Structure 1
Amino acid sequence: MRVLLVEDEEDLSAIICAALGERGIQVDASLDGQDGLLKAATVDYDAVILDLMLPVLDGYTVLKRLRATKKTPVLMLTARDSTDDKVTLLNEGADDYLTKPFMIDELAARIRAIVRRSTGEPSPLICIGNDLRIDTIDRRVTCGGQLVELTPTEYSILHLLATHADRIVTRQMIYDRIYGDRDSGSSNTIEVYLSNLRKKVGKERIETHRRNGYTLRA
């Protein structure tokens, strides 16, 4: 991944470039808005990190002019934390914003998120409600911040329900996910798995639709 950082504070720029580089993100740097706009307009970056207060051209102007020609994802850096300022940035075409001071890990995560959204790549994290999180890379589930221990089969069923949240998942869909072409299970076995899942992630989350299937409520 290659991104452009437009930040006029040289020390901060150097720190961000080095830290993102350690996290696998290649960074080109620019110290003023005019140079940043030129680079952003002529190079196909995966994303642009754009400071709001810049010399020559401010961040608002750079964002407006860039949006007139390109759809490169833009994350704004700002010391302003009022709701009006944030709304203005988003309305002008920013994909996200981060208020200074910030943690580098959060910056890296937000960059990856806006790039995923721009390319249509699904997020590796599925969020259900306010507290259920499914990390599809590590196959790790947390509920209320606590790790939920699931068997491989329970995880497969929960993942299927989560990717169809608020929709009915039929027993046949679950059967196919668990057994594939193997005819080695029964509807009673599925009921046992669902019962165990309810105990682990919350009874009220998984609804049963008699003779139809199940729904995970988001």
Structure 2
Amino acid sequence: MPKPKILLLEDDINLSETVAEYLEDEGYEVDTAYNSDEAEEKAYEKNYDIFLLDVMVPGINGFELLKKLRKEDDTPAIFITSLNSIDDLSKGFESGCDDYIKKPFALKELKLRIDTLLKRGFKTRGKRVKIDENFSFDIENSELYNKDKEIPLNNKEKKLLKLFLQHKNEPLSHETIYDHLWEYPETPSDSSLRTYIKNLRKILGKDRIVSIKKFGYKFTAD
């Protein structure tokens, strides 16, 4: 069973280290970020099970960051912040969070809140990402549609298409795709990746996914 993956955005280094160490001891895998740019980059590079986001951080604040991520990412999110007014709480939920914990907090309470979200096993916001005039992708349920007809994809193809849509018109290396599609202890397969690419091209058009020699692929968007 793979460890649940958590992205922790907290600019207080001591608090970040304390929270990360506690959660890792409790069986989670934790990646830390100290500003919103770093957190955004990591959120797009890797699939996480939970976002833990401070609000007052360098760069755009946590509320604005989650709004931005919610355009393409439905990972459950918990705000951890010293902001404690009703207006702040309202802003947090309006930006798309699933829970909100005020500083200072007990680490055990944080763990209980994380576990509660993980047990729900849900993806929260049904949002279709438009690919072209005919095709769209439901990021809540990882389902591809041609107008209103669902197009069957296997699990790896769904993950690959979601990754492409998160990085439209951006070159993605083979290594980035391998890291996204295959979990430990699975072994990445170049031939399998080629098969997934071939199947997506059959559906979406061969020009939609461009091969970059000796590097990887790029998903082209209108």
Under TM normalisation by the shorter chain, which class is it?
0.5 to 0.7
* C-alpha deviation, 1:117, in angstroms: 2.3
1:58 and 2:61 correspond = yes
1:86 and 2:95 correspond = no
The answer (yes or no) to whether the contact 2:63–2:91 under 8 Å persists in 1 is no
Query: Secondary structure in 1 aligned to 2:109?
Result: helix
Range with bigger deviation, 93-102 or 22-31: 22-31
* C-alpha deviation, 1:54, in angstroms: 0.6
Residue number in structure 1 paired with 2:175: none
| Count of residue correspondences | 120
Residue number in structure 2 paired with 1:39: 42
1:110 and 2:113 correspond = yes
CA distance in structure 2 between the partners assigned to 1:101 and 1:37 by the alignment = 25
1:75 and 2:63 correspond = no
The alignment yields a C-alpha RMSD, in angstroms, of 1.3
CA distance in structure 2 between the partners assigned to 1:5 and 1:47 by the alignment = 9
* C-alpha deviation, 1:18, in angstroms: 0.5
CA distance in structure 2 between the partners assigned to 1:82 and 1:58 by the alignment = 16
Residue number in structure 2 paired with 1:5: 8
Residue number in structure 2 paired with 1:48: 51
* C-alpha deviation, 1:77, in angstroms: 0.9
* C-alpha deviation, 1:24, in angstroms: 1.2
CA distance in structure 2 between the partners assigned to 1:91 and 1:117 by the alignment = 20
* C-alpha deviation, 1:67, in angstroms: 0.4
Contiguous gaps of at least 5 residues in structure 1? 121-218
The answer (yes or no) to whether the contact 1:73–1:94 under 8 Å persists in 2 is yes
CA distance in structure 1 between the partners assigned to 2:36 and 2:118 by the alignment = 22
* C-alpha deviation, 1:61, in angstroms: 1.5
CA distance in structure 2 between the partners assigned to 1:113 and 1:84 by the alignment = 25
Residue number in structure 1 paired with 2:122: 119
The answer (yes or no) to whether the contact 1:73–1:118 under 8 Å persists in 2 is no
Of 97, 102, 119 in structure 1, the residue corresponding to residue 100 of structure 2 is 97
Q: Which amino acid aligns with 1:54?
A: V
* C-alpha deviation, 1:118, in angstroms: 3.8
Residue number in structure 1 paired with 2:142: none
TM-score by length of 1: 0.53
1:8-28 per-position Cα deviation (integer Å, ceiling 9, x unaligned):
111110000101111111111
1:127-186 per-position Cα deviation (integer Å, ceiling 9, x unaligned):
xxxxxxxxxxxxxxxxxxxxxxxxxxxxxxxxxxxxxxxxxxxxxxxxxxxxxxxxxxxx
Query: Secondary structure in 1 aligned to 2:97?
Result: coil
